[in-house]
Structure 1
Amino acid sequence: MFLPPALARIPLPANRRYAAVRTRLRHAVSDMIDRNRTEGGAIGGDLLTALLESAPATPDSRTELVDELILMLMAGTESTATTVAWTLHELSRDPDRWLADNQHPAVRKALIPFGGGTRKCAGDTFALTESALVLASIMSRWTVEPVRRNTVRLAAYGALQPQGLYLRTVAR
């Protein structure tokens, strides 16, 4: 939740729910770390194992490890969901625009959703691959049509999400 610390401490129902969910998530991730350590981790390496191998075993490093894993989980989920939502919105408005005959070479650096340079997102390739697979799955089964009475607007949360995006799916 993006509130100033003073407001986040007010015992409102929303703040209590957020705190409870945050605590549950941190415990779940912490349990995952414990299971990985006792069971020896994945063969071939996964993100958790790589982070465990590079982190010293101190209480501060454990807190940092939990923070890093939650960041990867949340950032990866939000970026993929937002990318898929905006793409479906564009496809619902003009699917012919995306046919092979209508495509123009894109400039790789024209869109920088994952930053660049030393601050470039470590998961950009994963997010783009995941988005492409999700979209291929959806579009192979359905077409999407806009619900015309709604206007889609930008909503600034962690990423610029489509607010008021309502689509109808039609089986192919």
Structure 2
Amino acid sequence: MGSIAAIISLFSACLSVWGIKRNIDANLRAKARIEWIQEVRKQTATVYKSYRELRSAYLQKSGRAIAYTKYQTDLRLLKLYFADNDDNISGESNKAVILKNSKNNKSKNKYLINVIDGLQEVKSRLNENDILAATGDFSQYYVELDELMEYISIYLKIEWDKAKKGK
């Protein structure tokens, strides 16, 4: 009878240790995910600010090279948060549908990188006569930035929900 109690006690202790380890692992994953979410939010805000500074530099016709370099650097840093590990993208070709999907983040990294790449082409759209700067027609870029911010917001909401569940 004593050996059965000892076995049950040992089994209980093992289950307890396993449960504690599982909780610690879940907490570490959640903490890392939350830190990642915060860093992505900060970098997204930095990109938006850099773009505003770039626009201002073009309108004021001073400090353009510095503002452009900062904007490009900030976009590249944001891009690093979204590893392109989606080798196969499903048959869905409408990137807006995929990026606005609020259920999961499957296949989103590749599309987020494409959106960021599009924003990096801002200088190629500015011609030497600064037509865009002269007319102040930067509104299209704000639309694209707003879309990126919306997509990232959806992405981070899903990641936040995963963090709450300890995944």
**TM-score, normalising length from structure 1?**
0.30
Of the two structures, which has the highest relative contact order with CA contacts closer than 8 Å and spacing of 6 or more? 2
Instruction: Point out the structure with max Rg over C-alpha.
Output: 2
Greater share of strand? 1
* Structure number having the greater helix percentage: 2
